[in-house]
Amino acid sequence: MDLQFQKRKILWGGATAASQYEGGWQEGGKGIDTQDVRPYIPRTSNATTATRLLTQAMIEKGERDTKGRYPFRDGSKGYYHLAEDIQLLKELGMDIYRLSISWARLFPNGDELEPNPAGIAYYDRVFDEIRKAGFKVFLTMNHYAIPLNLVKKYGGWTNRKLIDFYLRFAKVVFEHWGDCIDYYLPFNEINAGYFSPFNGVALLKPEDGGYDQSLVFQSLHHQFVASAKTIELGHSMVQGKFGAMVACFCYYPYSCKPEDNLKQTLDENTNTWFCMDVLSRGYYPSYMQSFFDANGIEFEITDEDRELLKHNTCDFVSFSYYQSSVASCEEKEKTAGNLVVSTKNPYLQANEWGWQIDPVGLRVTLNRIYDRYQKPVIISENGFGYADVMEEDHQVHDQYRIDYLNRHFQEILNAQNDGVDVVAYMMWGIVDIVSAGSCEMGKRYGVIYVDADNYGNGSYDRYKKDSFYWYQQFMKEYREE
Minimum distance from CB of 214 to ligand BGP (Å)? 24
The sign of the dihedral angle between the CA atoms of 186, 187, 189, 195 is negative
Using the contact rule CB under 6 A, the part of the chain among 56-64, 123-131, 162-170, 432-440 near ligand BGP is 432-440
Active-site residue flag, 259: no
Contact 268, 326 (CB under 8 A): no
User: Is residue 148 a contact partner of residue 32, using CB atoms and an 8 Å limit?
Assistant: yes
Segment interacting with ligand BGP, rule: CB under 6 A, options 87-95, 156-164, 218-226, 429-437: 429-437
Distance CA 269, CA 186 (A): 22
Q: Which is nearer to ligand BGP, 401 or 443 (CB)?
A: 443
Q: Pattern 133-152, binding to ligand BGP, x per CB under 6 A?
A: --------------------
> How far is it, in rounded angstroms, from Cα 305 to Cα 47?
36
Q: Is 437 in the site for ligand BGP (CB under 6 A)?
A: yes
Q: Cα separation of 460 and 431, whole Å?
A: 11
Choice from 172, 309, 436, 452 touching ligand BGP (CB under 6 A):
436
Question: One symbol per residue from 16 to 45: x for binding ligand BGP (CB under 6 A), - otherwise; what is it?
Answer: -x--x-------------------------
Nearer to ligand BGP, 138 or 284 (CB): 138
Question: According to CB under 6 A, which residues from 165 to 194 bind ligand BGP?
Answer: 188-189
The 10 Å CB-count burial string (b at 16+, else e) for 393-409 is eeebebeebbebbeebb
Binding residues for ligand BGP, rule CB under 6 A, total: 16
Phi, psi of 275 (to 5 degrees): -65, -40
Let me know: does 100 contact 143? Beta carbons within 8 Å. Answer: yes
Q: Quick check: 197 binds ligand BGP (CB under 6 A)?
A: no
Rounded (5°) CA angle 123-126-128:
110
CA 346, CA 326: separation in Å to the nearest integer?
A: 10
- The answer to whether residue 385 forms part of the interface with ligand BGP (CB under 6 A) is yes
Which among 22, 189, 268, 411 is annotated as catalytic? 189
| Amino acid letter, residue 443 | K
If binding is defined by CB under 6 A, does position 216 make contact with ligand BGP?
A: no
Name residues contacting ligand BGP, limited to 330-349 (CB under 6 A): 338-339
Which residue in the set 22, 85, 381, 421 belongs to the binding site for ligand BGP (CB under 6 A)? 381
Q: How far is the CB of 342 from ligand BGP (least distance, A)?
A: 15
What percent of the residues of the chain are helix, what percent strand, and what percent coil, each to the nearest 5?
45, 15, 40
Stretch touching ligand BGP by CB under 6 A, among 73-81, 124-132, 177-185, 437-445: 437-445
Closest CA to 198 of 56, 379, 96: 56
Nearest distance in Å: CB 361, ligand BGP? 16
The residue sitting closest to ligand BGP, measured at its beta carbon, is 437
Residue 428 contacts ligand BGP per CB under 6 A: yes
Give the C-alpha separation, 417 to 145, whole Å.
37
- The letter for the amino acid at 32 is I
Strand partners, 125: none
- Per rule CB under 6 A, is residue 81 in the interface with ligand BGP? no
Name which of residues 243 to 262 contact ligand BGP (CB under 6 A). 247
What number of CA atoms fall less than 13 Å from residue 419's CA on the CB side? 9
User: With binding defined as CB under 6 A, does residue 435 bind ligand BGP?
Assistant: yes
The answer to whether 362 contacts ligand BGP (rule: CB under 6 A) is no
The answer to whether residue 330 is catalytic is: no
Q: Are 13 and 135 in contact (CB under 8 A)?
A: yes
- 241-248 vs 183-187, strand pairing mode: parallel
Q: Does 268 bind ligand BGP (CB under 6 A)?
A: no
Which is closer to ligand BGP, CB of 154 or CB of 355?
355
Distance CA 133, CA 145 (A): 27
Identify residue 306 by its one-letter amino acid code. R
Least distance in angstroms from the C-beta of 438 to ligand BGP: 6
Specify the 3-state DSSP secondary structure of 185: strand
Cα 379–chain centre separation: 11
State the nearest-atom distance from the C-beta of 444 to ligand BGP, in Å. 9
Nearer to ligand BGP, 196 or 218 (CB): 196
Indicate which residue of 22, 129, 268, 381 is catalytic: 381
Residue of 125, 157, 127, 156 whose CA lies nearest to 139: 127
- Residue 106: CB partners within 8 Å, gap ≥ 6? 115, 116, 119, 120, 123, 169, 172, 173
Binding mask 307-326 for ligand BGP (x = CB under 6 A): -------------x------
* Shortest Å, Cβ 431 to ligand BGP: 13
Q: Which is nearer to ligand BGP, 188 or 218 (by Cβ)?
A: 188
Pairing verdict, β 334-336 and 341-343:
antiparallel
Shorter beta-carbon distance to ligand BGP: residue 184 or 284: 184
Piece of 39-47, 54-62, 178-186, 428-436 that binds ligand BGP (CB under 6 A) = 428-436
Displacement of CA 449 from its chain's centroid (Å): 20
Q: Which residues are catalytic?
A: 189, 381
Which positions touch ligand BGP (CB under 6 A)?
17, 20, 188-189, 247, 320, 338-339, 381, 385, 428, 435-438, 443
